[in-house]
């Protein structure tokens, strides 16, 4: 049996930032209505909401039915999907299956997170729920602390310098300058990054994605119906998921994120392509070191050599593998459950040729990488401009 092919025909999103005066629901409604408007549809057949933290930050669950009602679509099937920081990517994967199955035609894959409703220590605790509460968080570990272990081990083992890793943040900020919806639109230098406060040695403040509010939404439909809604359908060539033990200490090689390796292999196989066929990558670089490791585990560099790609400027918009072309998690922003959807928005804009000053000269196929925890869940979606 062959599956139905699936395309993205609408995108909608809010500006990412600290939306002190707005609610989770308000942000969602803006993104959802914009996406429906973009696709020219007045309703959808089903809704998936990617969200991680509404229970702990808003004391609100049941987002599927709640938010379907808020956009005037009470009645449609709706649910929340959660896979920590990969919730957005997972929302796309589930919406993809829903359309591929033949059960639903027009499906919204959305994501939303409102992080500024609480004080930072509460947000930190909430984020830590992505890790093993009983064995790791109980011990006092934080997310940035766990990434700091990888960062230090990576430099020690492969000889990378702090400057090499910091360049991931510099690249993100460079790209976000031209992104209207980015959280931070300023350039930063390596010196700025490395002189920012140390959060968990060797990770500096400017190497961490910010605490962001935002919502984004995609409209998916069968590829063979896509031109009814848009002149530039973007096909989801492959949508794959893999998981790993949540905790770094449980893995054979802490410096290889096996969930990326497995999900990427499967995605390349499904799309019948190789890494060299990817024109750009939107990477889940919640911390700079993850950006470097991701390049390797996705197959763009050999293990231990990802930092060289970065050092050589190959992740820039005119490089060999442009990365985070609209600003990535560090500068475009990281509203947890929405991040995977924003990555798709970034990619769709490139593939449609609507990326403005950041438009790549060649953007036919992009890979988006959504990740939960320190590689506990990885969702890979390969997007391509339909012929």
Contacting positions for its own copies (CB under 8 A): 1-4, 23, 25, 46, 52-53, 55-56, 58-66, 68-69, 74-84, 90, 93-94, 97-98, 100-103, 125-126, 128-134, 137, 240-246, 250, 258-259, 262, 372-373, 376-377
Question: Nearest approach, Cβ of 329 to its own copies (angstroms)?
Answer: 18
Q: Which residue in 173, 204, 334, 369 is the catalytic one?
A: 334
* Complex with its own copies: residue 250 or 269, whichever CB lies closer: 250
Scanning the structure block, which residue is given the tokens 């000053």?
357
At residue 259, φ and ψ (nearest 5 deg) are -65, -35
Among 19, 8, 365, 384, smallest CA distance to 181 is for: 19
Tokens of 159: 């000889």
Determine the Cα–Cα distance for residues 155 and 306; give it in Å rounded to an integer.
11
Determine the Cα–Cα distance for residues 274 and 152; give it in Å rounded to an integer.
31
Cβ atoms within 10 Å, residue 303:
14
* Complex with its own copies: residue 137 or 351, whichever CB lies closer: 137
Question: Nearest approach, Cβ of 81 to its own copies (angstroms)?
Answer: 5
Q: How many residues does the chain have?
A: 387
Pairing of strands 214-222, 203-204: unpaired
Determine the Cα–Cα distance for residues 300 and 268; give it in Å rounded to an integer.
12
Question: Nearest approach, Cβ of 211 to its own copies (angstroms)?
Answer: 17
3-state secondary structure of 372: strand
* Complex with its own copies: residue 315 or 380, whichever CB lies closer: 380
3-state secondary structure of 12: strand
* Complex with its own copies: residue 62 or 227, whichever CB lies closer: 62
* Complex with its own copies: residue 57 or 344, whichever CB lies closer: 57
Q: Which residue in 85, 93, 151, 208 is the catalytic one?
A: 85
* Complex with its own copies: residue 19 or 332, whichever CB lies closer: 19
Determine the Cα–Cα distance for residues 266 and 186; give it in Å rounded to an integer.
37
Question: Nearest approach, Cβ of 387 to its own copies (angstroms)?
Answer: 21
* Residue 334 falls in the annotated catalytic set: yes
Q: Long-range contacts made by residues 359-364, C-beta under 8 angstroms, separation at least 24?
A: 360/279, 360/280, 360/317, 360/322, 360/325, 361/318, 362/279, 363/279, 363/280, 364/279
* Residue 156 falls in the annotated catalytic set: no
CA atoms within 13 A on the CB side of 92: 37
- DSSP category for residue 6: E
Among 131, 295, 144, 289, smallest CA distance to 211 is for: 144
| 143-158 helix and 288-297 helix, angle to the nearest 10 degrees | 60
Question: Nearest approach, Cβ of 205 to its own copies (angstroms)?
Answer: 25
* Complex with its own copies: residue 210 or 376, whichever CB lies closer: 376
Determine the Cα–Cα distance for residues 97 and 110; give it in Å rounded to an integer.
15
Scanning the structure block, which residue is given the tokens 């390596």?
190
Question: Nearest approach, Cβ of 46 to its own copies (angstroms)?
Answer: 8
Question: Nearest approach, Cβ of 260 to its own copies (angstroms)?
Answer: 12
Active site residues: 85, 334
């Amino acid at each position: 049996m062959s599956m139905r092919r699936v395309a993205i025909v609408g995108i909608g999103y809010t500006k990412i930032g600290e939306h002190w005066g707005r609610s989770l629901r308000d942000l969602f409604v803006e993104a959802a209505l914009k996406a429906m408007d973009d696709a020219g549809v007045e309703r959808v057949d089903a809704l998936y909401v990617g969200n991680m933290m509404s229970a702990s930050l808003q004391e609100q669950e049941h987002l599927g039915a709640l938010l379907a009602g808020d956009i005037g679509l009470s009645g449609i099937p709706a649910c929340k999907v959660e896979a920590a920081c990969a919730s957005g990517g997972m929302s796309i994967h589930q919406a993809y299956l829903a359309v591929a199955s033949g059960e639903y035609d027009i499906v919204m894959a959305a994501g939303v997170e409102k992080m500024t409703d609480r004080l930072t220590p509460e947000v930190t605790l909430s984020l830590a729920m992505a890790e093993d509460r009983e064995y790791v968080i109980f011990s006092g570990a934080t997310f940035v602390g766990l990434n700091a272990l990888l960062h230090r081990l990576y430099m020690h083992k492969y000889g990378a310098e702090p400057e090499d890793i910091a360049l991931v943040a510099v690249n993100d900020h460079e790209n976000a300058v031209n992104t209207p919806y980015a959280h931070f639109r300023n350039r930063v230098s390596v010196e700025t990054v490395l002189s920012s406060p140390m959060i968990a040695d060797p990770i500096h403040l400017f190497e961490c994605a910010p605490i962001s509010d935002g919502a984004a939404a995609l409209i998916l439909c069968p590829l063979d119906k896509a031109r009814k809604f848009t002149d530039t359908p973007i096909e989801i060539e492959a949508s794959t998921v893999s998981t790993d033990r949540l905790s770094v200490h449980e893995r054979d090689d802490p410096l290889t994120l096996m969930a990326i390796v497995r999900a990427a292999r499967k995605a390349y196989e499904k799309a019948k392509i190789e890494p060299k066929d990817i024109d750009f990558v939107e990477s889940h670089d919640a911390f700079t070191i993850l950006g470097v490791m991701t390049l390797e585990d996705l197959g763009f560099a050999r293990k231990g050599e990802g930092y060289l790609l970065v050092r050589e400027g190959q992740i820039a918009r005119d490089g060999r593998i442009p990365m985070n072309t609209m600003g990535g998690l560090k500068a475009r922003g990281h509203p947890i459950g929405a991040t995977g959807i924003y990555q798709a928005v970034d990619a769709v804009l490139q593939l449609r040729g609507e990326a403005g000053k950041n438009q790549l000269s060649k953007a036919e196929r992009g890979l988006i990488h959504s990740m939960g925890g320190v590689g506990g869940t990885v969702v890979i979606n390969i997007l391509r401009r339909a012929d």
